Amino acid sequence: MSQTRRPTIIAVTGIGIDVMFSDPDAEPARLDVPPHPFLQVLHNGKPAVGTVMVRPQDTIQVELKDTEATRELSVQIASDGMEAVLRVRYTPGTRRRLRTSGPSLHATLELDEFPIVAAKFSRAELENALISQRITTQIDFDAMEEVATSVEGGDCVCATGIAVIPGEPERYGSLVEVGASQLIGIVPVHPVASVLADTAIARWIAAKEGKPGVTVRGEIVPVRPVRTPLPKLGKGVREESGTIFASRAGRVVRTARLLDVADTLVFEETHQLTNGHVMFDGDVVFKQDVSDGVEVVAGGKVFVSGNVSHARISADQGILISGGAVAATLRAGTKMVAFSELLTLFQDLLGEIETLVGAVKQVEVIYAERGLSLETGRILTKLLEDKFQEFSRWPREFEHWRTSQGTSAGPEWSNFVSALTGQIQSARLTTLKNVRGLEMLIELLEQRIATLPAHNEADEAWIQVRNAERSDLVATGDIIATGHGFYQCKVTSGTSVKAGGQPGVLLGCAVVARTTVHAREIGSQAEVPTTVEIQGSQGEITAKRIYPGTVLKAGSWQYKVQKELVDVTWP
């Protein structure tokens, strides 16, 4: 009788496989090896996956890999140096062991996994991270330790700088109370401060020094110098021991450039062409209409209680027409526009002259190396004919400004531009003996740029009408229609255009605004061509209804309305 062969018995321990019997003739045991990225089994030196038949003489090697716990610590400092952020990240690891099983003919390898917790950062390590970044100011160790002892870590502001306390320039504090602006519908109504003669309207306040700041690294942040000049005192005020008094009755004018009491010119009757044109440095009030052919130029504001028909009105500080404007030309803030254009011209010319000076000096160096010298005028003759041909346009540019904007800017600036035009003529430049002549021209331009009245949004002049028809309206501030709206008009605003009355229409118009355009209706059912454009990157067009035939523009983007739109905000 034959003897039955004994089977091979295997057992799984935490780290390997034990073969229990070594009888060469034993029946093989079955071992199932599942695929696993952190487990490798070698059967007789070869990788094994799946079912493996284990015989007594076989060798089984098991390799297990653990995943180490990781931790990260970093400190980021803001670009201005006023804040530091601690970043702590803990990623747990994993320890792996084979799941044990007793002796058996059949075993399946299974893994038990145990978490490995990353060691928390100590206070000393946190301090070293700050030291490596040279952080010394206002450190929040409590916040740092809270993040460092949390399970997964996190972010916290670990240090903050000391902010700069800006200084305050010398200024005039107002002694005249003015009510706040109010909205009637969407139309802002700005109160006007009027005073009697000898009323104290402002008091001089001395400059206040600021305090420097400190970055998180202990670096001093200096206070930026305050360069806001005091506004110029106009003819309608006087100063006594630091207090500004009204020299006459009128409207208080307070801008970044001027503190004054504007006189007022009043016309009781309808003003016709036979009454003559009006040019006045202060406010102008028309208690009735302004009729055909009249031209009004005001240094302050223009108020018209009636209508304006076929007339031209220019006002530095704003236009308010209680009635309508028909075939009229209205300009508000023309002086500001003139100065803005002149500033651009000055700056561009200054840049070209500086480049021209550099070119002249390069030529002088080349000739000096050869032991030669040339007058600046002869060098300029060649440069202006060659690389700087475009320079010849400047006299034309400034002459165009003087003829189109000189009246608005005033005689002082108009006369200066006229004199400058002569100095930059090619015939004048080519007679210069040395480069100092160009350098003096640079100095003169820099002085004029420094004294040129600067643009200030608070000074933007607005136009308000009940409605306008076939008119041309330009303002540096808002252009507002409180009634019917704008019909067949050209409307150009430095801020916004609003037609919020009843029905509040923009019809057959070409409208351009920097920020927003609002109307109840844009275009008409007859598809009358109407164009609305916004030039600011954050601007928008809103309307209750926009009819087909209307073209909407925003920068290079253009959209022609094909069907009626309701409750529109575009783009």
Query: Which DSSP letter does residue 273 get?
Result: G
pLDDT greater than 60 at residue 548:
yes
Q: What's the pLDDT at 250?
A: 76
Q: Are 59 and 18 in contact (CB under 8 A)?
A: no
Q: Are 255 and 459 in contact (CB under 8 A)?
A: yes
Nearest to 94 by CA among 64, 123, 51: 64
Question: What does the pLDDT look like over 480-510, one tens digit per residue?
Answer: 999 999 999 999 998 899 998 888 999 999 9
Provide the token pair at 119: 């060691």
- Residue 1's pLDDT band, with cuts at 50, 70 and 90, is very low
Q: What's the pLDDT at 454?
A: 64
Question: By mean pLDDT, which of 138-152, 330-344, 474-488 is the weakest?
Answer: 330-344
Q: What's the pLDDT at 186?
A: 44
Nearest to 198 by CA among 148, 143, 237: 237
Spans of all domains in the chain: 1-161, 171-259, 263-333+458-570, 336-451
> If you average pLDDT over residues 323-335, what whole number do you get?
89
Bond prior to 103 in cis (omega within 30° of 0): no
Query: 549-555: which pairs have CB atoms within 8 A and are 24 or more residues apart?
Result: 549/523, 549/524, 550/522, 550/523
Q: What's the pLDDT at 364?
A: 87
Question: What does the pLDDT look like over 38-97, one tens digit per residue?
Answer: 999 999 989 999 999 988 888 889 999 999 999 999 999 999 999 999 999 999 999 999
Q: What's the pLDDT at 189?
A: 44
Question: What does the pLDDT look like over 381-415, one tens digit per residue?
Answer: 888 888 888 888 899 998 988 887 777 777 788 88
> If you average pLDDT over residues 425-438, what whole number do you get?
87
Q: Give the C-alpha separation, 518 to 499, whole Å.
A: 6
The average confidence (pLDDT) of the chain is 87
Question: What does the pLDDT look like over 442-478, one tens digit per residue?
Answer: 898 888 888 887 655 546 789 999 999 999 999 988 9
- Residue 18's pLDDT band, with cuts at 50, 70 and 90, is confident
Q: Are 156 and 108 in contact (CB under 8 A)?
A: no
Q: What's the pLDDT at 94?
A: 94
Q: What's the pLDDT at 459?
A: 62
Q: Are 464 and 319 in contact (CB under 8 A)?
A: yes
Question: By mean pLDDT, which of 230-234, 278-282, 376-380, 560-564 is the weakest?
Answer: 278-282
DSSP letters spanning 165-195 = B--B--EEEE-S--PPPEEETTEEE----EE
Q: Give the C-alpha separation, 513 to 366, whole Å.
A: 52
DSSP letters spanning 234-258 = -TTEEEETTEEEESSSEEEEE-SSE
Bridge partners of 174?
Answer: 202
pLDDT greater than 50 at residue 2:
no
Q: Give the C-alpha separation, 450 to 346, whole Å.
A: 11
Q: What's the pLDDT at 91?
A: 93
Q: Give the C-alpha separation, 158 to 138, whole Å.
A: 8
Q: Residue 291 belongs to what H/E stretch?
A: none
pLDDT greater than 90 at residue 288:
yes
pLDDT greater than 80 at residue 348:
yes
- Residue 194's pLDDT band, with cuts at 50, 70 and 90, is low
Q: Give the C-alpha separation, 569 to 540, whole Å.
A: 7
pLDDT greater than 60 at residue 160:
yes
Spacing of C-alpha 147 from chain mean position: 35
Q: Is the pTM of this model over 0.85?
A: no
Q: Which residues contact 543 (CB under 8 A, 6 or more apart)?
A: 518, 519, 520, 521, 522, 565, 568
Q: What's the pLDDT at 463?
A: 93
Q: What's the pLDDT at 184?
A: 42
